[in-house]
Structure 1
Amino acid sequence: MLELPDDKIINFVMPVVRIERKADGDIGYKGMLGSCFLIRKTGGIALTAHHVVAGIEIGSAAVLFLDTKGQWQAVLIKDVRKHPSQDVAMIVLESEHEFPSPLSLSREEHYASMPYMLWGYPAAVLHEVVVNDRAGERPDLVYDEGYVRRRISWELPTIRGSRFLELSTVSGGGCSGAPVISRRPVDAGQEIWQVIGVYVGERRAGDLAVGYAVRISDIDADAPSWSALYTG
């Protein structure tokens, strides 16, 4: 059983990594794939971007958690369920840990001016730590915020799907799969964070730089089994 400080953001918004099994049975880190986040009351199901897990084989990828000693612990991915049309996928984790999370998928439709916050693991800070004159890879959780510029219901170049929120902030590579969370309060007394989107990429054109998230409000429109993820 994992010993995790369950009140830490870093343990419900996590890095997705490629791994290898060593001869001694240990798990070795091979590189970052993206970000993911646990969904409330699902017992170990996380969401990420489809393209983050598109090419992985089961047994070759894991999600990292920070234990009570401050050490990264890898939990293997035992199943991936890819959405049939949008750039989003479910990750099922191989563990008996309960994986509590305050993140709940929102059915509410969101439009321009909606304020949001985001946590993810940007590639821009992946090589910051230098040990013995060498910069190694170390995922680090970073906060971002902004507002929804517009709601899009058509296909975009290079991004899978057709149902998006255009965001005012570019969060960058490595943040694919991160939760886009409403900054509007929910009912008093409830520690629930409403997820309105999954960050999937960005577009730059001249001075314009915007981010994109697959919107969550109708993620089950062409995937009925995904309705079970709306946990209230």
Structure 2
Amino acid sequence: MTERDYDMLFNIVVPVMKVRVTSETTVRNEGFAGTAFLLKHAGGHAEPLAITARHVAEQLTPGEAAVLFRGTDGAWQPAAVQGIELHPTQDVAILRLEPGTYVAHCVLSRRQEHASLQYMLWGYPEAVLYESISDDGIAQQRPDLIYSEGHIRRRISDLLPGIYGSRFFELSTPAGPGCSGAPLIARSPGRFDGPDWQVVGVYVGERHSHPGDLFVGYGVRIADIDQDAEDWSALFA
């Protein structure tokens, strides 16, 4: 991956924050909530949309939440979350962002994927959130984009303890808390050479399935996300 590709990713896969507006020009960070990704315009949607996990969106209030984009100077700039739509049965949600110019290459894939599919994931794990120390010795929040990859271990169409929904991929690689809402992008030989990145799932968490089992991750399957939410059909390219 080139440095340009990596810089671009910071404005496609973005951190989700709880914020408080203290003045016309000042936004105070009130806490990190998770990860989201910008969705390429589809189905006639002109407004900028981001996808995240439902349990991330449930922490947010429109007008008191933002996603962060990295400017050319390296500083983070907020874009307000103006609306939130929770999926009725699965752990995904839509964030409606304030108008602006956004870069988006992620599209939702209709392909019914199965075990062995290789995927790429970028997200903002909490494990690296506090790596920066201010002059007075206080740890500062600094979201940093982390890459992981893996493969689908199996499809699950059932309830899982502690995870909302019923249609999942079990994943070979846990990404860690904070990565909820990150896209599972189907791995292809060209990686970023094509115009669209095919999102097959949304990362929602990890756990030990049973005592002694491997630690695994889980993602919501995207291909049939409109099965019980017809209006979500418009999100597919």
Q: Same fold (TM over 0.5)?
A: yes
Give the 3-state SS of the residue equivalent to 1:30 in structure 2.
Answer: strand
Give the 3-state SS of the residue equivalent to 1:150 in structure 2.
Answer: strand
Runs of 4+ more than 4 Å apart? 185-189
Q: What residue ranges of structure 1 are gaps of 5+ in the alignment?
A: none
| 1:180 pairs with 2:184 | yes
Please report how far the alpha carbon of residue 163 of structure 1 lies from its aligned counterpart in structure 2 after TM superposition.
0.3
The letter for the 2-side match of 1:195 is: V
Q: Which residue of 1 aligns with 2:65?
A: 61
2: CA distance, partners of 1:180 / 1:209: 18
Give the 3-state SS of the residue equivalent to 2:56 in structure 1.
Answer: helix
**TM-score, with normalisation over the residues of structure 2?**
0.90
| 1:170 pairs with 2:174 | yes
The letter for the 1-side match of 2:125 is: P
Q: Could you tell me whether the CA contact under 8 Å between 2:131 and 2:139 is conserved in 1?
A: yes
Specify whether residues 188 and 129 from structure 1 end up closer, same or farther in structure 2 by C-alpha distance, changes over 3 A only: closer
| 1:218 pairs with 2:224 | yes
Please report how far the alpha carbon of residue 55 of structure 1 lies from its aligned counterpart in structure 2 after TM superposition.
3.1
The letter for the 2-side match of 1:199 is: Y
> Which one of the candidate residues 63, 69, 76 is aligned to 1:72?
76
> Which one of the candidate residues 97, 101, 124 is aligned to 1:93?
97
Specify whether residues 31 and 220 from structure 1 end up closer, same or farther in structure 2 by C-alpha distance, changes over 3 A only: same
Q: How does 1:1-232 map to 2 (within 5 A)?
A: 8-23=8-23, 25-42=25-42, 43-97=47-101, 99-132=102-135, 133-185=137-189, 190-204=194-208, 205-231=211-237
2: CA distance, partners of 1:114 / 1:173: 23
The letter for the 2-side match of 1:128 is: E
Give the 3-state SS of the residue equivalent to 1:8 in structure 2.
Answer: helix
Give the 3-state SS of the residue equivalent to 2:10 in structure 1.
Answer: helix
132-141 or 182-191: which moved more? 182-191
Q: What residue ranges of structure 2 are gaps of 5+ in the alignment?
A: none
2: CA distance, partners of 1:67 / 1:180: 25
175-184 or 125-134: which moved more? 125-134
Specify whether residues 131 and 191 from structure 1 end up closer, same or farther in structure 2 by C-alpha distance, changes over 3 A only: same
Please report how far the alpha carbon of residue 173 of structure 1 lies from its aligned counterpart in structure 2 after TM superposition.
0.5
Please report how far the alpha carbon of residue 165 of structure 1 lies from its aligned counterpart in structure 2 after TM superposition.
0.4
2: CA distance, partners of 1:72 / 1:187: 26
Q: Could you tell me whether the CA contact under 8 Å between 2:33 and 2:59 is conserved in 1?
A: no
Q: Give the count of matched residue pairs.
A: 226
The Cα offsets for residues 175-214 of structure 1, whole Å up to 9 and x where unpaired, read as 0000011003589973211000000000124352000000
Give the 3-state SS of the residue equivalent to 1:218 in structure 2.
Answer: coil
Specify whether residues 65 and 187 from structure 1 end up closer, same or farther in structure 2 by C-alpha distance, changes over 3 A only: closer
2: CA distance, partners of 1:21 / 1:197: 33
Please report how far the alpha carbon of residue 30 of structure 1 lies from its aligned counterpart in structure 2 after TM superposition.
1.2
